Amino acid sequence: MLTDREQQILNWIRINPSITQKEIAERAHISRSSVAVHISNLTKKGAILGRRYVLADKPYIAVVGGTNMDLAGHPAYAPRAHDTMPGTVTVSAGGTARNIAHNLALLGCNVKLITVFGDDIRATELVNDCRKLNIDIDNSITIPGGITSMHLFIMDEQGDMTLAISDMKILDQLTPEALESRLGVINHAQVCVVDTNISIECLAYLADHVRVPLYCDTVSTSKALKVKGLIGKLDTIKPNQLEVETLTGVHITDDRSMKLAAKKLLDQGVKRVVISLGARGAYAADRNNVVRIPSFASNIVSTTGAGDTMMAAITWAQTRGESLANTCAAGVAAAAICTESYSTVNPALSADNVLSRMAAAGYDSQQ
């Protein structure tokens, strides 16, 4: 709720977005320091975004979590332990939250990414990449002297990851206190997507204070455990099969056990479960429906990033008001597109391409 003075200042900014604090002070007959306090409050409440008085009129999606630089090795043939082999090494922007934000931008969504950057050449590249994609990073954190996260992984000859090492210690700098100062921005979003790269304390803070639908990508089996006590506060959760087994204790061998695992999550209060099944597609359930979508045909060169792309497409479909079946189909279609590129995010992804793949598989958008 805005105060009368805050609403007055917001109206002046709406009429003239380039108005200065000095001009506002003169018009309101108050000091510049008082104006600064009102501007800070307007930012915290999400009425304006960042330092350039960007008005929060356009719908947007808030994404909170990890950003890193991906270093990927693609061997020319089946990798052998303790051996060097020819292949291709690629460097690209990555991180679950950043990848989700990137994919959402390609799908035509306005995105505000809240993450942590270091103070090095990798951070400069990541920041520039976000700006080229029109991803708003005004509410992200830069740590002076900090080292930007790095994710190193090796693929096999089929394009599946065999081993990875993540150095994401800088994300410890994202604290509940930092999120509190950005809560207004988050709560003015259509939805908030979070990954489990951030701390348990941050996840708990968001679960308790976010008032818009909260979507969660569980990232990995070890990191999925961070949300085990928070599932009832989520709107949508997207684990893969191993992650959902970790969260529920159900060993999945068939559709019956898959349904039981999904039900265990739904019984805790989450509204929607989408389980990524890799080459077998995806399984989705809510309180009224269950759907299993097989994978779509694709020319696979790398599966890295497909889960992040699926999460983005699920979020995009839900903000469009799609059914559970179409939401799941959108995720499977987008993941198929992702696998056709060596990049973690396929630049060919678009809303039209996703809808085209869905239609080819018999899933017509309702929008």
Q: What is the pLDDT of residues 194-223, one digit of tens each?
A: 999 999 999 999 999 999 999 999 999 999
Own/partner contacts of 219-225, CB < 8 Å, gap of 24 or more, are 219/96, 219/195, 219/243, 220/196, 221/246, 223/196, 223/197, 224/196
Please check the confidence at residue 52 and state whether its pLDDT lies above 80: no
Q: What is the pLDDT of residues 153-183, one digit of tens each?
A: 888 877 777 888 889 999 999 999 999 989 9
Please tell me the predicted confidence (pLDDT) of residue 75.
87
- 299 with 338: CB under 8 angstroms? no
Q: What is the pLDDT of residues 131-142, one digit of tens each?
A: 999 999 989 999
pTM comes to 0.83
> Model confidence at 53, in pLDDT bands (50, 70, 90)?
low
Please tell me the predicted confidence (pLDDT) of residue 336.
98
Q: Which residue has the higher pLDDT, 5 or 16?
A: 5
Residue 61 tokens read as 């999606």
Give me the domains of the chain, ranges plus CATH numbers: 271-367 (3.40.1190.20)
Proportion of the chain above pLDDT 90, given as a percent:
72
Give the whole-angstrom CA distance, residue 249 versus residue 247.
6
Q: Which residue has the higher pLDDT, 45 or 226?
A: 226
- Range name among 9-18, 77-86, 296-305, 306-315 with the lowest pLDDT average: 9-18
